Structure 1
């Protein structure tokens, strides 16, 4: 039934999702050019509110759970599993006070309304996966911006989307590189559940009736821990949440 309703509701979802991207593209540009970073960020936050709650057109619910009082006066590295592109708008919206940045493929900086302009202007790292030197350089620059501005970065240590929802082995390179330039960054795991189900049949039809969940887990202080140990701990904590979810199905 979820797939059946997806044939009906996916076009409605795409219309509103696409309209949001198109409407906010010129708004972002004007905010940045006329008023600078702060105004641009507000426009991006509002855009991602609409992108997040476009899920109502698919009858998917949004549940972002955070029981921790996370600081805003130090950098944070949010490390999450990655299931679909729909993970990202909610992370931007619900983590907005932490100025969450992303490490993105450089190919995404062109041709996509709102998304490309945000990647170019928003302060994240746009990397060429075929050029390791360029990628490391961009991540180091991002780490410096984190340190200077008390920004946060969201990274997906799996390196790619888990299209079947099964957690892949985490890689420690991203956390290690960011900690070199922002050694006081707090590490915060986030477990993402069920967003892979939306795209289990690809771009069309999207499926309906899912409980989408983002759960902020206990922060990890990097003191006296190396990046490999931190990454293993992050993976372990996220895996516990995902396994609990599987046990209830």
Structure 2
């Protein structure tokens, strides 16, 4: 039934999702060109509010749970599992006060309305996966911006999306690089549930009637722990929420 309604509602969703991207592309440019970073960030936040709640056209609910008082006067590394492209707008919107930046493929910086311009201007790290030296350099630059501005970063330690919802083994490289550059960063796991179900049949039809959840878990003080130990703690915490034991 979810797939059946997907055939009907996916075009409606894509229309409003695409319209939002097109409308906010010039808005972002104007905000950045004439009013600077703060205005551009507001435009990106509002953009991602609308992208997040476009899920109503698929009859999907969206919920964000955070029972922790996270600081805004120090960098945060948010480490989340990754299930679909629809994870990202909600993370930007719900974590907006933390100025969360992303590590993205450099290919995404061209050709996509709103998204590409934000990746170029927003302060994240755009990496070439075929050029390890360039990728590490970009992540180091992001870490410096985090340290200087008390910004945060969202990182997906799996390295790619879990298209069936089953967590892949977390890798510690990105977290290690960020912590070397921003050693005062707090590490915060985020568990994402059910967004993989939207795209279980690919781009069309999208499926409907899911409860999409983002849950902020207990923060981790890096202290004297290694990046490997921190990453394992993150993975264990997220697997507990998703009821997926360590392999």
TM category (shorter chain) comes to: over 0.9
Aligned runs of 1:45-194 on 2, under 5 Å?
45-194=45-194
Gaps of 5+ in 2: none
Provide, for residues 65-99 of structure 1, a one-character-per-residue CA deviation record: whole Å limited to 9, x for no partner.
00001000000000000000000000000000000
Partner Cα distance (1:118, 1:37) in 2: 11
Gaps of 5+ in 1: 245-249
Partner Cα distance (1:7, 1:137) in 2: 44
Quote the residue 1:236 is aligned against: 236
Partner Cα distance (1:226, 1:187) in 2: 12
Deviating more after overlay: 88-97 vs 235-244:
235-244
Q: CA deviation at 1:191?
A: 0.3
Structure 2 residue 14 is matched with structure 1 residue 3: no
Quote the residue 1:39 is aligned against: 39
3-state secondary structure, aligned to 2:243 = helix
Q: CA deviation at 1:200?
A: 0.1
How many matched pairs?
A: 244
Provide, for residues 165-196 of structure 1, a one-character-per-residue CA deviation record: whole Å limited to 9, x for no partner.
00000000000000000001000000000000
Q: CA deviation at 1:228?
A: 0.3
Q: CA deviation at 1:52?
A: 0.1
Partner Cα distance (2:158, 2:181) in 1: 22
Partner Cα distance (1:112, 1:90) in 2: 18
Quote the residue 2:198 is aligned against: 198
Q: TM-score, with normalisation over the residues of structure 1?
A: 0.98
